[in-house]
Structure formats: structure tokens, C-alpha cells
Amino acid sequence: MEKERLRAVGYRRVSMREQVDGHSLDAQAKNIKDYVNGQGWDLLEIYTDAGISAKKDSFRPDLAKLMQDAEDGKFDVVVVDKIDRFYRHLAGLLTALDSLRHMNVAFASVQERLDFTSPWGKLTLTVLGILAELYLDNVRRSMACGDCA
């Protein structure tokens, strides 16, 4: 049975301006391309946020474009070199993964060897999505009661 040819995109990011022209962006792109090729997928684009932190509430234009393109159904899987290139805080990561899951977009990380395109990977992603929902529900409850003790 032939493996499905997914439409893949990559996402890469560096936070410090001096990394923009350095090896880091190139290394991330190479790892993403190698991974996608190894899976037999089609790489459509690599989104890049250069010199922008992945901390909470930071705006990353290419990540916003990636999420909009995901919503528009332009690709099937997002590939990152490392998860911390995508998000550095758990709540944001879980929320983004849950959003992708609802858009039927898979996620893979080269360095962490996470691939949510397989049946077991999809199960893992679903569990992470539920954890994100629980986390957000707990945050909302905590805020509603004014951080009750």
C-alpha cells in the first residue's frame, strides 16, 4: 500500500535578530525539508518568523498566516524542527495543536520525533487537545472566582 502524499508546510523561527542571518534558520529549513522528503510528502511552503520571540502573547505574522491557511484547508500537516520553534509555553502549544486538530491538520516535530499523522499520533494529538481544553477551563474558572483560595 502506497503512503498518502500529504501537503506539508514548515514553520521556523528564531528569536534573536543576530540569528536571522545565521545558521539556525537554514538548519531548521534543511531538517524540515529532509523530514518531509523522507515521509514522501509534498512541501508547499516554509513560514518564517525571524527575530520574534515565541513567548506568550507575542505576535508572529507568519504563524498567524499559517493558522489562517490551515483554516482555509491549504495543507494537511505542519512540520517544525523543534516544538520550541512553534511555541515556548505549554498553554499556547496545546491551544494551537487543538486548533489544528479541529481543522484536520496534523503536526510533526523533527527533533522530538512527534508525528501526529499516524493513527497513534492522532490519538496523542486528541489527548493533547483535551488537555488544552481542561487547562483553559481551569484558567477560566480560576479567573471567574478571582483566584479563590
Residue-level pLDDT at 18: 47
Contacts 24+ apart (CB under 8 A), 138-147: 139/91
Q: Model confidence over 86-100: pLDDT tens digits? A: 887 777 888 888 899
Structural domain boundaries in the chain: 7-144
Q: What is the pLDDT of residues 17-64, one digit of tens each?
A: 546 555 589 999 999 999 999 999 999 999 999 888 777 778 999 999
User: Over 90: is that where the pLDDT of 125 sits?
Assistant: no
Q: What is the pLDDT of residue 49?
A: 93
- CB distance 97 to 129 below 8 Å: yes
Domain covering 7-144, topology: Rossmann fold (3.40.50)
Q: How many CB atoms lie within 10 A of CB 24?
A: 19
